[in-house]
Amino acid sequence: MHGKRILLGVTGGIAAYKAAALTSKMVQAGAHVDVMMTESAAKFITPLTLQTLSRNRVHMDTFDEQDPSVVSHIHLADHADLIIIAPATANTIAKLAGGFADDMLSTTLLAASCPVLIAPAMNVHMYEHPAVVDNMKRLAERGVMFIEPGTGQLACGYVAKGRLAEPEDIMEAASRWFSRKELLAGKRVLVTAGGTMERLDPVRYLTNDSSGKMGFAIAEAARMMGAEVTVIKGRTSVAAPAGVRVIQVESAEQMLEQATALYSNCDIVVKAAAVADYRPVVVADQKIKKKGDRLLLELERTTDILETLGERKEHQFLIGFAAETDQVERYAMDKLRRKNCDWIVANDVSAEGAGFDGDTNILSVYGPDGLIEALPLMSKRSAAARLMELAAVASRGGEPE
């Protein structure tokens, strides 16, 4: 963290006292720390305490502009390498999820483009309330990172989940993010995502249940590790992550064309898209009219994109996906060998929590010698981050840690 600029947001919970220890530890680690407090936070810990520990003025009032050469909340947002909010109350999380800007902290967050790390702290029933759960999910979908609260004695008397993570844990998470950011620096990563569409006529097509969430999570993880990322996307149900180049395609043939055109300049390729195996032999120019009790369609094989990339592989580290419903390891290893992949990431899509459109996944990463690592049920973002950590090391010839 040495030399990094950290913006620490402190909100109005009893755990605000831990912000003092966190500030001190970050300063000792060589970080430049700017503290921003809500009015409620100042009821629990004084601005003077955090000013003394950070050695910088504490910001509370949006309109308290002491430097006429800058607009404070924009200046702070522009220069921060990381924003940490600890503790983050249910109210602050709701305001950030809703895009409100009614105090210094929420206004600054709207102007920020750097990563945000949130450490919630509240009563267990508040933490588990559907509104709070939904707000955290919305923020996570925008790339916000969370440190789960711990379980223990809460100020309200409960012994349950909801207490703020310890300063050491927050420091470790921040340090891990900074170190991870360099893992793919200078690398070019190509990701395919979503499902392809094979036209029957101008209004109908063949497709699948892929949402694009896993591919987008991989692209986001690669970008956060410093890579230059391009996503070739088919049909998806969610928006692509910010900060990546997006190429929209429709059919398997279009995805093949784009992938092969970009392939030679890529270092790591992750083919997470669910590509159609077959397409109609004839595509009607006009809408097919209903007639008779049956309609027969003649289909032909599409070109296998992963196999094509495997045949042309030179320096690229090629990762394929295998969505299976049985004998996962057998089919994954067979696919890896047939298609000349470095890794196959397999999942049993029939398992609970591992389906196409969900926010979680269960993955097994296979290399030429068999299983490399099995990832248990976790969010697709967490699974993608771990996958790309492993790939960053392996693509440089190292052993997974």
CA distance 321 to 270: 8
Domain boundary among 152, 181, 210: 181
Per-residue confidence (pLDDT) for residue 399, from 0 to 100: 60
DSSP 289: P
CB-CB neighbours of 285 under 10 Å: 7
CB-CB neighbours of 151 under 10 Å: 12
Tell me whether residue 349 is in a domain. yes
pTM (predicted TM-score): 0.70
Q: In terms of residue numbers, what domain contains 59?
A: 5-181
Q: Which residues of the chain have a pLDDT value below 70?
A: 153, 355-357, 398-401
CB 112 within 8 A of CB 154: no
Per-residue confidence (pLDDT) for residue 147, from 0 to 100: 86
Cα Rg of the chain, angstroms: 24
Tell me which residues are annotated as active site: 156
Tell me whether residue 332 is in a domain. yes
- For helices 213-224 and 167-181, give the axis angle rounded to 10 degrees: 90
Backbone angles phi, psi at 340, to 5 degrees: 55, 45
Q: Are residues 166 and 202 in the same domain?
A: no
Q: Are residues 363 and 305 in the same domain?
A: yes
Q: Are residues 281 and 133 in the same domain?
A: no
Tell me whether residue 314 is in a domain. yes
Give the count of domains, the chain: 2
CA distance 127 to 162: 7
CB 87 within 8 A of CB 128: no
Question: Does 359 count as an annotated binding residue?
Answer: no
Cβ neighbors of 394 (< 8 A, separation 6 or more) are 317, 342, 343, 367, 400
Please write the tens of the pLDDT for every residue from 345-363. Answer: 998 877 887 766 677 889 9
Tell me whether residue 253 is in a domain. yes
Question: Does 313 count as an annotated binding residue?
Answer: no
Per-residue confidence (pLDDT) for residue 401, from 0 to 100: 55
Question: Does 277 count as an annotated binding residue?
Answer: yes
Domain boundary among 153, 181, 209: 181
Tokens found for residue 288: 């097919």
Question: Does 43 count as an annotated binding residue?
Answer: no
Tell me whether residue 400 is in a domain. no
| CATH code of the domain covering residue 362 | 3.40.50.10300
Backbone angles phi, psi at 375, to 5 degrees: -100, 120
Q: Are residues 175 and 224 in the same domain?
A: no
Q: Are residues 213 and 280 in the same domain?
A: yes
Q: Are residues 209 and 149 in the same domain?
A: no
How far separated are the first and last CA of the chain, in Å rounded?
22
Tell me whether residue 399 is in a domain. no
Q: Are residues 253 and 316 in the same domain?
A: yes
| CATH code of the domain covering residue 142 | 3.40.50.1950
Q: Are residues 76 and 214 in the same domain?
A: no
Q: Are residues 177 and 197 in the same domain?
A: no
CB-CB neighbours of 153 under 10 Å: 10
DSSP 107: H
Tell me whether residue 50 is in a domain. yes
Q: Are residues 122 and 257 in the same domain?
A: no
Tokens found for residue 90: 């249910």
Which stretches of 159-304 are DSSP H helices?
167-181, 213-224, 252-263
Domain boundary among 181, 213, 232: 181
Q: Are residues 145 and 198 in the same domain?
A: no
Question: Does 339 count as an annotated binding residue?
Answer: yes
Helix (H), strand (E), coil (C) string for 28-93: HCCCEEEEEECCCHHHCCCHHHHHHHHCCCCECCCCCCCCCCCCHHHHHHHHCCEEEEEEECHHHH
Q: Are residues 127 and 217 in the same domain?
A: no
Tell me whether residue 77 is in a domain. yes
